[in-house]
Amino acid sequence: MVFIPYENPNGEPIGDYNDLVYQIFLEKFDMVVGDLTILWNRSNYVEFTLPYSESGVSMLVPNKVDDSKNMWIFMRPLEMELWITIGGFFIYIGFVVWVLEHRVNKEFRGPPHQQVGMIFWFSFSTLVFAHSNKNVNIRKQLDQR
């Protein structure tokens, strides 16, 4: 950490406290420690910490947009191209399953819109639902044969 005084070479302040807060917003400074008063116009540019002591000393950091309330935040870990590829493969696999099943499985038959819906439903259900089988005693099944 480096102390950078907010003054000119003559020792006079370069600006007022509002200017200092705005410099954090412009990312010329990373933080400010001092006797700044929390005001509504300053809180538009920075986040204030709680005072560390009774003297009211606080720290200011740049205000960041809160993405935790964004409904699409789950897509952030992967690139958009990868999500598009995943979606394409799910549709492709659904189509392949439809080609293999539509002649022998009644659920894959019907009007075209129902068949397209089944392709999407199969892909979605495979992704979302946990498919499981009953625990079967294989030895018991083999003994019955």
pLDDT, greater one: 145 or 25: 25
- Does residue 30 form part of some domain? yes
**Same domain for 84 and 59:** no
- Is residue 1's pLDDT more than 60? no
Non-local CB neighbours of 1 within 8 Å, separated by 6+ positions: none
Strands 46-48 and 32-34 come out as: unpaired
Contact predicate 29/43, CB 8 Å: no
The total of structural domains in the chain comes to 2
Question: Which tens digit of pLDDT belongs to each residue from 28-86?
Answer: 888 887 777 888 888 888 887 766 666 656 666 676 766 667 777 777 788 899 989 98
Q: Which domain holds residue 40?
A: 17-64
Kindly report the pTM of this predicted structure: 0.41
Co-location of 51 and 84 in the same domain: no
As a whole number of angstroms, the distance between CA 48 and CA 25 comes to 13
128 and 96 in a common domain: yes
pLDDT band at 5 (very low <50, low <70, confident <90, very high): low
Q: Mind listing the pLDDT tens digit for each residue in 91-122?
A: 898 888 888 888 888 887 888 888 888 888 87
pLDDT of residue 94: 85
Last residue of a domain, one of 64, 96, 121: 64
In a domain, 143, yes or no: no
Q: What is the CATH number of the domain that holds 37?
A: 3.40.190.10
Same-domain check for residues 56 and 102: no
The alpha carbons of the chain give a radius of gyration, in whole angstroms, of 31
Helical segments of the chain, H only:
17-25, 40-43, 80-101, 112-128, 138-144
Task: Say yes or no: 46 and 97 in one domain.
Answer: no
User: Over the range 122-137, which residues count as b (16 or more CB within 10 Å of their CB) and which as e?
Assistant: bbeeeeeeeeeeeeee
